[in-house]
A and B are shown apart, each in its own frame.
Chain A
């Protein structure tokens, strides 16, 4: 018994390319005459999801993940093929996208709930439970423009979590909010799963995917390259990610050509000196960058950038960390970065490695590449945005300390 059946589905987007002197979005009637270029976001994709199954979908940006989500939730229609959905489907795509700032929390619960396809009666019946889960009892009659972003997210998730769908589509929603909230979301989703809800989870967060889904699809350029047990598919994805691809950090890089130097590879090692892509918060991490130099660079800087899945730069490693000067002669070399305690919260990070000249414009790299992913797993508890290394002691004898 399938809850979702996707049969040879393709999705084509037509793009009218703007000419150089015509800015994007600014169209003239002449643009109607220009030929439109095609872009196939999905090509001949077929899969089926069993009732009660949790399916993960992973892949690079632009691999077609969100197109699948949009097709399943009927936001757009396929160019060819057919999708059969058997049951009440709810998409928990972007929490709170239907909120109106001027309306109160209560009014927004009704608005958002009915946007997700709930009846008013149903919402009224669940209102107390929704408000309680979100923890906004005291602010339910305040316009949501006065809410903190945390309250906003909690209310949005709470509404969607009360939909009681038969099929639940999840996007990166679990990647927002603080750790406590994320854990609460994941608990709720796990509970739904236990109760037999079919789940489709589309995410960059490999850790969350492996926790929730027993089966995973790997997409690449609009095609399914792998479909199987989550662990195997994630391993394959990590192999795929380790082949280097040009990246675009800080907007658009201007790479001087021919390249004077090149990033060859990046590897992470844990505290036991094993090569790995995953490390728990609070553990030590070693990053090894291999590079080759074609022209000597007098004052070089090598850096590693940690991007969130939303392409926000979270932090970086830099050979400039203590202001040292780095001279690169012709040949190959290896630079190692040591981090005694990883402060990042549990999530997946995209890693870019760049080589540049000191003092060059920020975007002027000699070379910069998307070099891999780092899965930070749950280790030291993170409440807030990151783990701050610290220790503590009792300074008088009033108290008993035990370790477990």
Chain B
């Protein structure tokens, strides 16, 4: 039997190759972070497999399949256009409103889908968490990965829209990549914290839709940043989504580079948030199986 020969091989490994693991009571610390990251990397195939399955399962037994990833933002943009372009006559920086709204809806849907699904992600896998060990951050991360997949699909439609409306492509379009990276770091940080808190307090799951609704109106998704009164601007821009949406609009629709210092600052802030969020998550993880 092949398995048996493999086994012989494994057991004859030199002792130094054996992985040594020490399990101790949980302590809150930032120093264990590199260990945790290393462990996450050894489980990278699980992250990959689960993310792929997340996408597959979602669209299995649905006729339209992955097309839903396009239909959702397109339908939303059309409805918004009907209201804000024809009824309210919202200013849209001199661009077709549908384009103006669609560019903002993509990052917005990415954020809201990621957070809504990852918040319940740990609790809905309670069975697994109490039975098998694996780095638990993989669960919220897979939801973010699945939402990122949707974002990329929906991004294809954006390219089509840009061509249709003859928006020129410029080098500044490349800034989309760093902006999306910053957004992703921010989303991961939020997903880690929210899913971990949800394990103990299910209130989070209930609060998320409300909070997202408020945040959406406090972000320049439906309207341009310019309509926000100048005296409120400094408070308004504390919302990280404000900078990200504005940045995307300027690089995609106007061919302008984003505000570089602002981008750098938000990148640093996101990394700091992510470190704190990850340490918090790992701290909660230690006894997660007991309370879930």
Interface residues of B in 35-82 (CB under 8 A from A): 42-43, 45-46, 48-50, 53, 56-57, 60-61
B230 within 8 Å of A (CB atoms) = no
| B26 at interface, CB cutoff 8 A | yes
Q: Report the Cα distance A94→B61, complex, angstroms.
A: 28
From B25, B42, B43, B289, give the contact of A80 (CB < 8 A): B25
Whether the Cβ atoms of A114 and B128 lie closer than 8 Å is: no
Closest A residue to B132 using CB positions: A115
Within 8 A of A (CB), among B118-135: 127-134
List A contacts of B42 (CB < 8 A).
117
Q: Which of B4-12, B171-179, B267-275 contacts A (4 or more CB under 8 A)?
A: B4-12
A89–B22 Cα distance when bound, in Å, is: 12
Write out the residue numbers on chain A whose beta carbons fall within 8 Å of the beta carbon of B211.
none
B231 CB-CB contact with A under 8 Å: no
Nearest 9 pairs between A and B by C-beta? Answer: A114-B46, A83-B23, A196-B11, A77-B286, A74-B133, A97-B131, A85-B21, A76-B289, A120-B45
- Whether the pair B128, A164 counts as a contact (CB closer than 8 A) is no
Question: Could you list 19 A-B pairs, sorted by A, with CB under 8 Å?
Answer: A13-B290, A74-B23, A76-B288, A77-B26, A77-B287, A79-B25, A86-B20, A88-B10, A91-B132, A102-B61, A114-B43, A114-B46, A114-B48, A114-B49, A117-B46, A119-B45, A129-B1, A161-B3, A164-B7
Is A191 at the interface (CB under 8 A from chain B)?
yes
Annotate A73-100 by CB proximity to B: 1 below 8 A, 0 otherwise.
Answer: 1111111111111111101011001101
Give the residues in chain B near A311, CB-CB below 8 Å: none
CB atoms of B132 and A78 under 8 A apart = no
Instruction: Verify A97–B60 contact, CB threshold 8 A.
Output: no
Q: Is the CB of A129 within 8 A of B49?
A: no
Q: Could you say which residues of chain A place their CB within 8 Å of the CB of B46? A: 114-115, 117
- Does any Cβ of A come within 8 Å of B18's Cβ? yes
Given A73-B133, A75-B130, A82-B23: A107 touches B53 (CB 8 Å cut-off): yes
Given A93-B132, A196-B11, A77 and B25 contact (CB-CB distance below 8 Å):
yes
- Give 1 or 0 for each of A324-350: 1 = CB within 8 Å of chain B CB: 000000000000000000000000000
- What residue in chain B is nearest A89 (Cβ atoms)? B21
Please indicate the chain A residues that have their CB under 8 angstroms from the CB of B289 in the complex. 70, 75-76
Which residue of A87, A100, A126, A195 contacts B4 across the interface (Cβ within 8 Å)? A195
CB <8 Å contact, A100 and B53: yes
Beta-carbon contacts under 8 Å, B131-150 to A: 131-134
> Is B128 in contact with A88, judged by CB distance below 8 angstroms?
no
> By the criterion CB–CB under 8 Å, are A83 and B22 in contact?
yes
Please indicate the chain A residues that have their CB under 8 angstroms from the CB of B6 in the complex.
126, 164
Indicate whether A129 sits within 8 Å of B128 (C-beta atoms), given known contacts A76-B286, A78-B23, A107-B53: no
Q: A117-153: which have CB < 8 Å to B? A: 117-120, 126, 129, 133
- Chain A proximity of B127: nearest CB distance (Å): 6
Instruction: Determine whether A71 belongs to the interface, using a CB cutoff of 8 Å to chain B.
Output: yes
Task: Determine whether B19 belongs to the interface, using a CB cutoff of 8 Å to chain A.
Answer: yes
- Asked if B134 contacts A117 (CB within 8 A), the reply is yes
Say yes or no: A164 contacts B3, CB within 8 Å.
Answer: yes
Chain B interface category by residue count: 35 or more
Q: Does A367 sit at the interface, judged by CB under 8 A? A: no
A65 CB → nearest B CB, Å:
15
Check B23–A85 contact: CB distance below 8 A. Answer: yes
Encoded as 1 (CB less than 8 Å from any B CB) or 0, chain A from 168 to 196 comes to 00000000000000000000000110011
- Residues of B whose CB lies within 8 Å of any CB of A are 1-4, 6-8, 10-11, 18-26, 42-43, 45-46, 48-50, 53, 56-57, 60-61, 127-134, 286-290
Complex alpha-carbon distance, A78 and B23, angstroms: 8
Partner of A192, one of B7, B23, B53: B7
Residue of A nearest to B22 (CB): A84
Contact of A111 among B3, B20, B49, B61 (CB under 8 A): B49
* Given A103-B57, A192-B7, A82:B22 Cβ within 8 A: yes
- A278 CB-CB contact with B under 8 Å: no
Among A74, A77, A93, A120, which residue has its beta carbon within 8 angstroms of that of B49? Answer: A120
Given A100-B57, A192-B7: A117 and B127 within 8 A (CB)?
Answer: no
Q: Identify which of B19, B26, B45, B288 gathers the most chain A CB atoms within 10 Å of its CB.
A: B45
Contact partner, A98, options B60, B128, B290, Cβ 8 Å: B128
Within the complex, which residue of B19, B24, B60 is in contact with A102, where a contact is CB–CB below 8 Å? B60
Closest beta carbon of chain A to B219's beta carbon, Å: 30
Separation of A79 and B132 alpha carbons in the complex (Å) = 20
Assess whether B49 is in contact with A110, with CB atoms less than 8 Å apart: yes
CA–CA, A116 and B289, complex, Å: 17
User: In the bound complex, how far is the Cα of B5 from the Cα of A162, in angstroms?
Assistant: 11
**Which of B11, B26, B60, B290 is A197 in contact with, Cβ under 8 Å?**
B11
Q: Which residues of B contact A119 (CB under 8 A)?
A: 45
Known: A70-B289, A102-B60, A120-B49. A87 touches B18 (CB 8 A): yes
CB distance from A169 to the nearest CB of B (A): 10
Contacts of B61 in A (CB 8 A): 102
- List the B side residues contacting A97 at CB < 8 Å: 127-128, 131-132
Residue among B8, B22, B128, B132 with the most chain A CB within 10 A? Answer: B132
Q: Chain B contacts of A70 at CB under 8 A?
A: 130, 289
A82 → B minimal CB distance (Å): 5
Q: How far is the CB of B289 from chain A (nearest CB, A)?
A: 5
CB contacts (< 8 Å) of A120 on chain B: these are 45, 48-49
How many angstroms between the C-alpha atoms of A79 and B24 in the bound complex? 8
**With a CB–CB cut-off of 8 A, which chain A residues contact B11?**
166, 195-197
**Is there contact, CB below 8 Å, between A74 and B3?**
no
Q: Please indicate which of the listed interface residues A77, A82, A97 has the most CB atoms of chain B within 10 Å of its own CB.
A: A77
